Amino acid sequence: MFFIMGIDQKMKDLGTISELMICRQCGRYGRYQVYMTYMCLSLFFLPVLKWAKRYYARTVCCGTVYELPKEIGRRIARGEDLTLSEDMLTLVSAGNGGSEWHPTKRCGECGYETNEDFEYCPKCGKRF
């Protein structure tokens, strides 16, 4: 007899906060996309145990990620319609916004991605 099991980190989308906000990082209008990450033990491809749940909110305007308190995340996961205030959010990573915001460019030749304002790919030298 053999067992097929594994431990993996998973992510679950909890939806979008419907209230429009002005982003602290880029200054544009946007909304928060809320999601949960967790570790999962699977046995025969069925999730058996979940632990280390963490809740995050990502801005749709520039991709800035904030961590949410567990109590707030649990309430959103239960379906409550909440308004997120700045004191609830802990900055995890700043997005590509701000006054020097440039859209992400991808090289068609080598696939290199950058937010810098280059005309040519720094990896292969082809024009973007």
pLDDT of residue 100: 45
Taking Cα atoms as reference points, which of 50, 28, 32 lies closest to residue 40?
50
Chunked into runs of 10 residues, the chain (128 residues) has average pLDDT values of 84 92 88 95 89 94 93 94 90 70 73 80 85
One-letter amino acid of 39: M
At 98 the pLDDT is 47
Cβ neighbours of residue 78 under 8 Å, at least 6 residues apart?
A: none
Residue 97's pLDDT is 55
| pTM for this predicted structure | 0.69
**Which pair of tokens denotes residue 32?**
């928060």
pLDDT of residue 103: 61
The DSSP letter of residue 122 is: T
Report d(CA 85, CA 82) in Å as an integer.
9
pLDDT at 24: 87
The structure tokens 């906060």 sit at 17
